[in-house]
């Protein structure tokens, strides 16, 4: 059952990190309209969110000003602006024009998807290209405005461009992805509403086999073998909520939300001790590997170009979340500046996670088992054909984990000899190009305070010598990363490489600095060539780790404006000064993700694939922090046996089984 819904937003006196509420969104829109920076009728808001105060203001005793930041575009003048509004003073603080040539474009607008359909429906060249494929203007065709990238193509400089691929829908109920209209792409000017170019490399067969998994009986009758699973908490969940502050067990975390990043976790602390000041997925890149004239440009920044937060699903009990659930509604901003409520956008619950620790001691006969439990805070988004779930986990033992679940439908094209080196055939004549899903987690660390450092720790094989005559010894090596250039690192699974974020000013009872270790999965980073356009625009994705000195303006690994940016922004620019990161206020940027060579099993809908990372305490506690976790309340006698209560190995009635 659900324990109810709450609105993630602000009250009469919002916390400085709270997301904008509906009334604040209306106030910001009014202030910008009255100032004239948001043109009546033709002005559009591409992004609107809290301009978070610098960390020292939030952590200080005094009040922090309430500000909002907006990215605007005027459809009439084709001008864009980066605007900061003071809600405290009720005025526009700054308005900076955006040069589309050097700075790129503001993120995509929802209405631009419909715009490309109108433009192409009226274009004679597009109609002729469809006619060559035996399709007339009345055919059901799915079109989408796709981000254009930056390739220095003639006639595109400074223009707001979308590239458009087409899929056929044989019936109104059909899913289009099974029927790509390949060999054809249109380039559209989104501000002028005109076609720049139609690229037609020749007619290719449209795959005929349907992929309509959503229609009852399309792939056989449903199974009848599954029996119900019920997850209940008769006394309710163990967490408490005060505004946007959540406390659970010894954890506290402040929930935030941004229409670009989605769910943001602020001020994560354990037993009152700070660990992470701010955690989010600050960018997501999906680069494709097909070099053809039709698809070479397919490189999507789902966060910076499409804004994940505004694409969140409304989650459903029993489908997306199971158990005793608390939902949070969030509010984002429409292009016209009106608040847009996303109901049940965030799901929070706690769940059993198997054995936490266990031992049966042969010396004294004691048998002890404790069960692990975790708090789950999640949201799901749909970006065109793909769906992504972001799951933050807080565990009883102080572990923090992020798991990303990728599902949905692979992007498709026609499969032939040309496509074969760069794509999988997932159905007869249907190609799914090779691609990657790369995420950048921004982790503003604060392990027992703001003065942190990073040690790279890895295993070391030791030589056979007088100290190691039998060759069995091995050790580990810790290397302090002292500058931002040294803080750019690659994972090495063979060396067991981890990165320990330590506080040199705080020691545990053994005299060692307290710390948290980042455990990477170490899968491939960006595979595009060193000289490619996408590499220059997404250099963040070429290293598993970047460590930077904290600066409040450095929020996004590919820069503030990603759409059609020529490259070099974000982390390459942030680290150019090679600042000191040893014992400073630092931010970790961790690249992780999937390299996807689609399988036949991924069609017509892809089972969830996962990726992520773990932050685990290392010397942060003086001993196991879960010694006070009690035996399971449902079966306490079987999880705890006193000393000399039973001979070693003797089973207890109703014993607690490890899973």
Catalytic residue annotation: 302, 386
d(CA 162, CA 330): 29
Whose tokens are 């545990």? That residue is 508
Structure tokens at 445: 């660390």
Backbone φ and ψ for 433, nearest 5 degrees, come out as: -60, 150
Q: What is the dihedral of CA 525, 527, 531, 533, to 10 degrees?
A: -90
Backbone φ and ψ for 110, nearest 5 degrees, come out as: -60, -40
Whose tokens are 């981000």? That residue is 147
Structure tokens at 650: 């003797």
Strands in 482-576 per DSSP E: 498-507, 513-520, 545-549
d(CA 575, CA 385): 35
Structure tokens at 482: 């002292």
Neighbours of 7 (CB within 10 A): 16
Closest CA to 70 of 59, 61, 81, 62: 81
Neighbours of 472 (CB within 10 A): 8
Query: Residue 537: in which H helix or E strand, if any?
Result: helix 533-537
Closest CA to 441 of 310, 615, 575, 579: 615
d(CA 310, CA 307): 6
Query: Residue 535: in which H helix or E strand, if any?
Result: helix 533-537
d(CA 400, CA 616): 6
Give CA separation, 385 vs 177, 229, 388, 411, in Å: 8, 30, 10, 7
**Three-class HEC string of 66-120:** CEEEEEEEECCCCCEEEEEEECCCCEEEEEEEECCCCCCECCCCCHHHHHHHHHH
Cis peptide before 604 (omega within 30 of 0): yes
């Amino acid at each position: 059952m659900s324990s109810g819904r709450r609105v993630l937003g602000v009250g009469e006196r919002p916390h400085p990190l709270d997301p904008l509420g509906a009334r604040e969104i209306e106030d910001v829109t009014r202030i910008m309209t009255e100032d004239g920076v948001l043109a009546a009728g033709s002005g559009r808001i591409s992004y609107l969110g809290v301009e978070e105060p610098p960390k020292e203001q939030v952590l200080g005793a005094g009040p922090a000003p309430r500000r909002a930041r907006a990215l605007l575009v005027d459809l009439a003048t084709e001008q864009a602006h980066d605007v900061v509004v003071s809600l405290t003073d009720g005025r526009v603080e700054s308005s900076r024009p955006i040069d589309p040539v050097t700075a790129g474009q503001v993120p995509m607008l929802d209405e631009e998807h419909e715009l490309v359909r109108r433009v192409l429906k009226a274009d004679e060249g597009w109609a002729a290209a469809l006619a060559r494929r035996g399709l007339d203007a009345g055919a059901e065709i799915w079109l989408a405005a796709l981000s254009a990238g930056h390739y220095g193509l003639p006639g595109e400089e400074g223009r707001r461009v979308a590239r458009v691929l087409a899929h056929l829908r044989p019936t109104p109920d059909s899913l289009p992805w099974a029927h790509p209209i390949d060999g054809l792409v249109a380039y559209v000017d989104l501000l002028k509403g005109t076609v720049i170019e139609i690229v037609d490399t020749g007619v290719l067969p449209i795959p005929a086999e349907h992929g309509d998994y959503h229609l009852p009986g399309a792939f056989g009758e449903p199974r009848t073998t599954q029996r119900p699973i019920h997850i209940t908490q008769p006394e309710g969940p163990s967490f408490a909520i005060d505004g946007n502050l959540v406390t659970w067990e010894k954890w506290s975390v402040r929930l935030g939300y941004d229409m670009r990043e989605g769910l943001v976790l602020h001020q994560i602390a354990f037993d009152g001790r700070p660990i992470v000041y701010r955690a989010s997925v600050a960018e997501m890149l999906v680069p494709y590997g097909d070099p053809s004239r039709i698809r070479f440009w397919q490189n999507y920044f789902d966060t910076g170009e499409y804004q994940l937060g505004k694409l969140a699903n409304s989650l459903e009990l029993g489908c997306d979340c199971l158990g005793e659930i608390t939902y949070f509604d969030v509010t984002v901003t429409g292009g016209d500046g009106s608040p847009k409520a996303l109901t049940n956008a965030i799901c929070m619950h706690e769940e059993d996670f198997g054995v936490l620790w266990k031992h049966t001691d042969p010396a004294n006969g004691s048998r002890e088992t404790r069960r692990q439990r975790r708090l789950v805070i999640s949201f799901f988004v749909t970006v065109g054909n793909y769906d992504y779930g972001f799951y933050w986990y807080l565990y009883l033992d102080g572990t923090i984990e992020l798991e990303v679940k990728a599902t949905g439908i692979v992007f498709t094209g026609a499969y032939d000899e040309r496509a074969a080196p760069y794509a999988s055939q997932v159905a007869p004549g249907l190609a799914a190009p090779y691609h990657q899903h790369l995420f950048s987690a921004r982790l503003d660390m604060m392990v027992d305070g703001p003065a942190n450092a990073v040690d790279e720790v890895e295993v070391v094989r030791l030589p056979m010598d007088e100290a190691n005559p039998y060759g069995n010894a091995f050790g580990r090596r810790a290397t302090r990363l002292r500058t931002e250039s040294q803080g750019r690192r690659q994972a090495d699974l063979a060396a067991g490489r981890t990165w320990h974020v330590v506080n040199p000013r705080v020691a545990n009872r053994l005299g060692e600095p307290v710390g948290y270790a980042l455990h990477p999965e170490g899968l491939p980073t960006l595979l595009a060539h060193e000289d490619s356009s996408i590499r220059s625009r997404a250099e963040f994705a070429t290293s598993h780790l970047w460590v930077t000195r904290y600066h409040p303006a450095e929020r996004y690994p590919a820069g503030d404006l990603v759409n059609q940016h020529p490259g070099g922004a974000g982390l390459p620019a942030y680290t150019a000064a090679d600042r000191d990161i040893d014992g400073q206020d630092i931010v970790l940027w961790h690249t992780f993700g999937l390299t996807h060579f689609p399988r036949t099993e991924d069609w017509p809908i892809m089972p969830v694939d996962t990726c992520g990372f773990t932050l685990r305490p290392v010397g942060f506690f003086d001993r196991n922090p879960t010694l006070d976790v009690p035996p399971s309340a449902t079966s306490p006698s079987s999880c705890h046996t006193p000393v000399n209560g039973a001979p070693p190995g003797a089973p207890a009635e109703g014993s607690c089984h490890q899973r």
